Amino acid sequence: MHIPRLLIIPVVLAVILTIPACGGRNATEEDAPTRGAAQLYEDASRQLGIGGYQQAIAYLERLELFYPFSEYTRRGQLDLIYAYYRNGETESAIDAANEFIRENPTHPDVDYAYYLRGLIYFDRDRNPLEKAFRADLTERPPADAERSLSYFAELVRRYPDSDYADDARQRIVYLRERIARYHLHVADYYMTRNAWLAAVNRARTVVETFADTAEVANALQIMARAYRELGMDDLAADAERVLDANPQAPRARQSRGGLFKRDRRARPQRPVADGNDG
């Protein structure tokens, strides 16, 4: 059936004219999105407070999805990093921390994202069974420890007065000791295989890169013996002189129990956004 053109035009115009009217009605309801975001943020905070990390993640992900420009969402993104971390979703936590740092470099709490990033790798350095039985990590390659050290060092460098800087500095001390011990473990292995030059090189790494650790004396002893085995008596004597001039400092505590001031479960206290945030 052919519909006359004169009848189509009024219908089309009527549809077009109703679109702005609908948009205008929604635009006047400015408080509705904010109230929804506030409720999701409050629900997530309540779940975080009682250890309901999975449910908190659900609330925070919904907050980010439906209210991407709300101040509650920006605050919730930090809590989401923490919730992922506490729920054992380390890759998601790391991705979320990197994204927050990249997109919010001037946020007043961005130092918390830096801190959590280091803390995630710090805890990944040993699995739950190793934590429970306080296993010796000397033989474990320190890839996660090195990443954690790098991130904590970045936090301290960028934000030396951060609430998390002192805790990060203490963890840096532990991590440097942990990495130095691994290098000495490898050097010892080379010594048992009569790979004297390889042992020297690994021990030198401790002396040159981790000079502030308690492992330097052990490294110098390895270097002195390995040089003598190589027939390099002058270098062996040099290592022994340095060792005699720098007696071993008191060994750092190897257990992490009670070493750090800030409870890793603690979250920063941030002011709640007011009702005018969109």
Secondary structure of the chain in HEC code, one letter for each residue: CCCCHHHHHHHHHHHHHHHHHHHHHHHCCCHHHHHHHHHHHHHHHHHHHCCCHHHHHHHHHHHHHHCCCCHHHHHHHHHHHHHHHHCCCHHHHHHHHHHHHHHCCCCCCHHHHHHHHHHHHHHHCCCHHHHHHCCCCCCCCCHHHHHHHHHHHHHHHHCCCCCCHHHHHHHHHHHHHHHHHHHHHHHHHHHHCCCHHHHHHHHHHHHHHCCCCCCHHHHHHHHHHHHHHCCCHHHHHHHHHHHHHCCCCCCCCCCCCCCCCCCCCCCCCCCCCCCCCC
| Nearest in space to 222 (alpha carbons), one of 201, 243, 200, 242 | 200
Q: At residue 14, does pLDDT exceed 70? A: no
Write out the two tokens for 63: 């907050």
- pLDDT given for residue 246 in this prediction: 76
- pLDDT given for residue 4 in this prediction: 53
- pLDDT given for residue 163 in this prediction: 97
Q: What is the mean pLDDT of residues 74-103?
A: 97
CA distance 275 to 166: 35
Q: How far is CA 185 from the centre of its chain?
A: 27
| Nearest in space to 124 (alpha carbons), one of 95, 156, 165, 94 | 94
Amino acid in the structure at residue 190:
Y
Q: At residue 9, does pLDDT exceed 50? A: no
Instruction: Report the residue count for the chain.
Output: 278
Amino acid in the structure at residue 14:
A
Amino acid in the structure at residue 129:
L
pLDDT digits (tens, 9 = 90+) for 163-207: 999 999 999 999 999 999 999 999 999 999 999 999 999 999 999
Q: What is the mean pLDDT of residues 32-53?
A: 87
- pLDDT given for residue 247 in this prediction: 64
pLDDT digits (tens, 9 = 90+) for 213-266: 999 999 999 999 999 999 999 999 999 999 998 765 433 333 333 444 444 444
More confident: 163 or 23:
163
- pLDDT given for residue 158 in this prediction: 98
- pLDDT given for residue 156 in this prediction: 98
Q: At residue 270, does pLDDT exceed 60? A: no
Instruction: Provide the percentage of residues in the chain whose pLDDT is more than 70.
Output: 72
Q: At residue 3, does pLDDT exceed 70? A: no
Query: For 33-37, 155-159, 194-198, which range has the lowest pLDDT when averaged over its residues?
Result: 33-37
Write out the two tokens for 167: 């805790």
- pLDDT given for residue 131 in this prediction: 58
Write out the two tokens for 89: 């979703």
Q: At residue 77, does pLDDT exceed 80? A: yes
Q: At residue 74, does pLDDT exceed 80? A: yes
pLDDT digits (tens, 9 = 90+) for 101-152: 999 999 999 999 999 999 999 998 776 555 555 556 677 789 999 999 999 9
User: How does the average pLDDT of the chain come out, rounded?
Assistant: 81
The angle subtended at Cα 37 by Cα 33 and Cα 41, nearest 5°, is 175
Q: At residue 72, does pLDDT exceed 90? A: yes
pTM for this entry: 0.75
Output the CA torsion sign for 227, 229, 230, 234. positive
φ/ψ (deg, to 5) at 230? -85, -5
